[in-house]
Amino acid sequence: MGALVKNILVFGATGQVATELQRFEGVTALSRAEADLSDPAACAAIIAATKADAVINAAAYTAVDKAETDTDMAFRVNVDAPTAMAEAAAKRGLPFVHVSTDYVFNGSGTTPWREDDATGPLGVYGASKLQGEQGVQAVGGAHAIMRTSWVVSAHGNNFVKTMLRLGAERDRLTIVADQVGGPTCARDIAAGLMQMAEQLCDDASKSGIYHFAGGPDVSWADFAREIFAQAGITFEVADILSSDFPTPAKRPGNSRMNCTKITDVFGVLRPDWRSSLTDILTDLKAI
């Protein structure tokens, strides 16, 4: 960390990204019991009283399918809370770094999404995250919004851990092959967020929206094949279409993200998810 940033206040403690953020010196991570995003005013009050140099919001309502019926809670956590938090941070002159998602787009085409492309969320989760972004931006304080995708780690529930569990139980799986994106290791996301927070303390003109995802782009089915290959598991993966596996909330077919801007502005490089996957598998063996 640079000289300007001594302490970072993180909302979230048990999520994948928040868990990785706690590896960094100077991070104070707040659990849901300490800071519940369903109470935006309480979260804002914590920021108003903090002695931290910057704030990172790594907490969110992420139950994509449940959000379709739990709409009020999804919007309270993903819109009202970050907006109130960003306002409190702005009043204190603190940079506010916020995590968002590729679900703000409609998932059409095959071209990687750029930050200034037209949004068009397909469901409640994406709509709530988009409005949360807009709330943070409207406040006008120093801020950075990181849109990311397909988060994986050795912690919590995610695709890598699900595949390893099923690989031990079965000998064949059908996996969606017409959704393409960039798997992103939570540890890489955390490192990027810390860089953004540090630099925003020195240069508020870097405020804006940024895309960050692992490369190269891959389908869920091919991602699964690489997981099994690296884990040394002999397993058959059969491709299916999204229409063969309907879910309450529609998933974007194209989650490819253009990550040029975050490299140009913050010097955050796009990570190779295959290398990060190797690290995740190593971590899991040690658990």
What is the tally of structural domains in the chain? Answer: 1
Q: Is residue 228 part of a domain?
A: no
CA dihedral 64, 69, 74, 79 (to 10 degrees): 110
User: What per-residue confidence (pLDDT) applies to 287?
Assistant: 81
Look up residue 269 and give its two tokens: 């490089």
3-class secondary structure per residue, 164-229 = HHHHHHCCEEEEECCCEECCEEHHHHHHHHHHHHHHHHHCHHHCEEEECCCECCEEHHHHHHHHHH
pLDDT value for 1: 42
* Residue 236 dihedral angles phi and psi, to the nearest 5°: -95, 125
On whether residue 281 sits in a domain, the answer given is no
Residue type, 230: Q
Is there a catalytic annotation at residue 125? Answer: yes
Does a structural domain hold residue 13? yes
Q: How many CB atoms lie within 10 A of CB 223?
A: 25
Does residue 251 sit within a domain? no
Please, what are the averages of pLDDT over each run of 10 residues along the chain (287 residues)? 70 96 96 95 98 97 97 98 98 97 97 98 98 98 98 96 93 95 98 97 97 98 97 93 93 97 98 98 92
Helix axis angle for 81-92 and 40-49, nearest 10°, is 20
| Residues of the domain holding 66 | 8-158+184-214+257-271
Answer yes or no: is 69 within a domain: yes
Q: What is the pLDDT of residue 182?
A: 98
pLDDT value for 171: 87
Evaluate whether residue 233 is within a structural domain.
no
What's the token pair of residue 132? 């949360």
Please pick, among 61, 103, 125, 210, the residue that the annotation labels catalytic: 125
For the chain, what is the radius of gyration of the CA atoms?
18
Query: What pLDDT sits at residue 235?
Result: 86
- Residue 111: give its domain's CATH number: 3.40.50.720
Let me know if residue 178 belongs to a domain.
Answer: no
Report yes or no: 51 and 120 within 8 Å, Cβ to Cβ. no
Residues 88-114: tens digit of each pLDDT: 999 999 999 999 999 999 999 999 999
Beta sheet of 96-101, edge-to-edge order: 27-30, 8-11, 54-57, 96-101, 143-148, 208-211
Which residue reads 């290791």 in tokens? 185
- Is 113 contained in some domain? yes
232: left (phi over 0), alpha (psi -120 to 50) or beta: left
